[in-house]
């Protein structure tokens, strides 16, 4: 490695092999294949005639529709693609990549770890710093819940939803997702029930 070289990547990279389609700047559609991916970029193999700076749209079943631009041409003929995605889409990409690292399953990422039930009800939430707020419970399962709220607690922070303790897992438009599957033995001391 040359002296002073620094990896400028902001996200972890996963070797992942997915077939997809690519729409190039000229509007033509080409088959493509991912070689690796991160929540912010892809490395693709394709026969499409691309140049750095070209705007493209990639579609892979597991990753969905992704817009980006060609950031570099690699010596092996592959293309680096910088993705132009929202923070929510970037988070979803990270979830898919983690799922792929863990081996995935035949049912796909869309299958939930536990059955959810719709449970439209108000619920009191307590953050790890003691702040309280009311939210509307959208749905709930043994391992998670979706809350409608304007609050935006930090991703990964502890939250008590009713009597259940979990971690804030994600944001979505109008609310937050909470993961209850994190072991509670390491949760901060919860106030006594009463």
Question: Residue 186 — pLDDT band, cuts 50, 70, 90?
Answer: very low
Asked whether residue 51 falls in the same domain as residue 126, the answer is: no
Stretch 25-34: mean pLDDT: 85
- Quick: pLDDT tens for 172-181: 888 898 887 6
Average pLDDT of span 14-43 = 85
CATH number of the domain where residue 65 is located: 2.40.10.220
Counting other chains too, the contacts that 86-90 makes at CB distance below 8 Å and 24 or more residues apart are: 87/171, 88/170, 88/171, 88/172, 88/173, 89/64, 90/39, 90/40
Residue 72 located in a structural domain: yes
Q: According to the model, what pLDDT value does residue 132 have?
A: 96
CA-nearest of 33, 43, 46 to 83 is 43
Residues 147 and 82 both lie in one domain = no
Q: Which structural domain, as residue segments, surrounds residue 140?
A: 117-186
Instruction: Please check whether residues 95 and 164 belong to one and the same domain.
Output: no
Residue 164 is assigned to a structural domain of this protein: yes
Backbone angles phi, psi at 25, to 5 degrees: -55, -35
Residue scoring higher pLDDT (62 or 30):
30
34 or 191, higher pLDDT: 34
Residue range 55-112, pLDDT digits in tens: 998 887 777 788 899 998 888 888 899 998 888 788 877 777 777 766 654 444 444 4
Distance CA 44, CA 82 (A): 11
β-bridge partners, 118: 139
- Positive or negative, the CA dihedral 35, 37, 43, 46 is positive
* Same-domain check for residues 69 and 144: no
* Number of domains observed in the structure of the chain: 2
Last residue of a domain, one of 68, 101, 134: 101
The answer, yes or no, to whether residue 8 has pLDDT greater than 90, is: no
pLDDT in the model for residue 181: 66
Residue 160 lies in a domain: yes
Instruction: For residue 106, give the 3-state DSSP assignment.
Output: coil
Has residue 43 been placed in a domain?
Answer: yes
Q: Measured between alpha carbons, how far is 148 from 125 in angstroms, rounded to an integer? A: 11
Give the residue from 159, 10, 137, 101 showing the smallest Cα distance to 169: 159
pLDDT at 47 over 70: yes
- Strands (DSSP E) along the chain, which ranges? 14-15, 19-23, 29-38, 41-46, 55-60, 64-73, 79-83, 117-127, 132-140, 144-148, 158-161, 164-172, 175-179
Tens of pLDDT, residue by residue over 115-163, are 455 567 899 999 989 999 999 998 887 678 889 999 999 988 899 998 8
167 located within any domain: yes
Residue 191 lies in a domain: no
Distance in angstroms (rounded) separating the CA atoms of residues 171 and 146: 9
């Amino acid at each position: 490695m040359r002296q002073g070289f620094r990896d400028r990547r902001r996200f972890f990279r996963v070797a992942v092999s997915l077939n997809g389609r690519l729409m190039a700047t000229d509007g033509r559609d080409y088959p493509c294949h991912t070689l690796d991916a991160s929540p912010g970029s892809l490395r693709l193999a394709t026969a499409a005639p691309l140049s750095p700076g070209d705007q493209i749209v990639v579609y892979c079943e597991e990753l969905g529709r992704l817009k980006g631009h060609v950031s570099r041409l690699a010596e092996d003929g592959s293309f680096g693609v910088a993705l132009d995605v929202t923070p929510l889409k970037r988070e979803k990409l990270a979830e898919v990549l983690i799922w792929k690292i863990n081996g995935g399953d035949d049912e796909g990422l869309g299958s939930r770890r536990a059955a959810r039930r719709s449970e439209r009800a108000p619920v009191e939430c307590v953050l790890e710093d003691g702040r309280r707020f009311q939210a509307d419970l959208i749905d709930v399962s043994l391992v998670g819940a979706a809350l409608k709220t304007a609050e935006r607690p930090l991703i990964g922070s502890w939250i008590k939803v009713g009597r259940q303790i979990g971690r804030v897992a994600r944001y979505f438009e109008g609310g937050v997702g909470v993961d209850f599957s994190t072991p509670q033995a390491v949760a901060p001391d919860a106030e006594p029930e009463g």
